[in-house]
Structure 1
Amino acid sequence: MSEDIEVIPVTIDVTDDAMTAMAGAMGGAEDGDVLVVSVLGGGCSGFMYDLQIQTRPDDDGWQFISCDGITIAVHDKDSKQLSGITLDFVNSLMGGGFKVINPNAQKACSCGKSFR
């Protein structure tokens, strides 16, 4: 079953802290690996972000954004929800992690990992 999706060009901003964290995480990655940013159903607000280091997808339907030698991949199905996001990395007493700032979200959880 195929459904029509609206595909828009993806732009992503990456803070200096996130760039440093991505470089550290990708340091042991294989050549050709990318950071895949996607949207999954779930979380306390309806959707949640998923960030994974994977082999670069070679099938159709992906957009690739290059940031200082690191490639970020976003599938077309997630383009409307993810275009314009800012990836940040925050440290807290409970540990550090990536935080997504999404101007497209109607509502976001305080954890920064879930949105609607």
Structure 2
Amino acid sequence: MSTETLELGTKTTQALPITLTEKAASEVRRIAAEQASEKPLYLRIRVVGGGCSGFQHKLDLDETINEKLDDTFELHGVNIVIDKRSMLYLDGVTVDFHDDLNKRGFSVTNPSAKTTCGCGSSFSM
């Protein structure tokens, strides 16, 4: 858990709910630049139902935010948006990016997950 201060609208908390590694932030910035959108792009992190264990993490680039349902913040130059329902499942999550011989892509490590499926794409709480 990061010890940086997080500004959520008008409410200030003492710790960020997630960690975004510099490698992941760099890759998000690269992908966002390729999109060439006229509007700012946000990294939307959410938890959805699905997979063999019940829940899945989803990462998307999104142009829109809902001020009533979403919290926004910035890490390493990346604007992040998380809906309030997903925030309940994401405390302490680390988003990383791997570019190795055996693995390329984003990974989400959730310390609150009780079990994961065999392929690692879904989890239970």
Shared fold by TM > 0.5? yes
The 5-angstrom pairing of residues 60-71 of structure 1 reads 60-71=68-79
**1:24 aligned onto 2:24:** no
- The one-letter amino acid paired with 1:12 is I
Calculate the TM-score normalised by the size of structure 2. 0.75
List structure 1 runs of 4+ shifted beyond 4 angstroms. 92-95
User: What is the rounded CA distance, in whole Å, between the counterparts of 2:55 and 2:83 in structure 1?
Assistant: 16
Partners of 1:13 and 1:84 within 8 A in 2 = yes
Which residue of the partner structure matches residue 81 of structure 2? Answer: 73
User: What is the rounded CA distance, in whole Å, between the counterparts of 2:99 and 2:51 in structure 1?
Assistant: 21
- Give the fraction of aligned pairs with identical amino acids, expressed as a percent: 30
- Report Cα offsets for 1:36-89 as digits up to 9, x if no partner: 111111112111111111113134111112012211110001111012100011
Partners of 2:72 and 2:79 within 8 A in 1 = yes
Aligned residues: 108
The counterpart of 2:110, out of the listed 102, 105, 111, is 102
- The one-letter amino acid paired with 1:107 is T
The counterpart of 2:18, out of the listed 9, 12, 17, is 12
User: What is the rounded CA distance, in whole Å, between the counterparts of 1:83 and 1:107 in structure 2?
Assistant: 16
The two structures, once aligned, show a CA RMSD in angstroms of 2.0
Specify which structure has the higher proportion of strand. Answer: 2
Calculate the TM-score normalised by the size of structure 1. 0.80
Which residue of the partner structure matches residue 50 of structure 1? Answer: 58
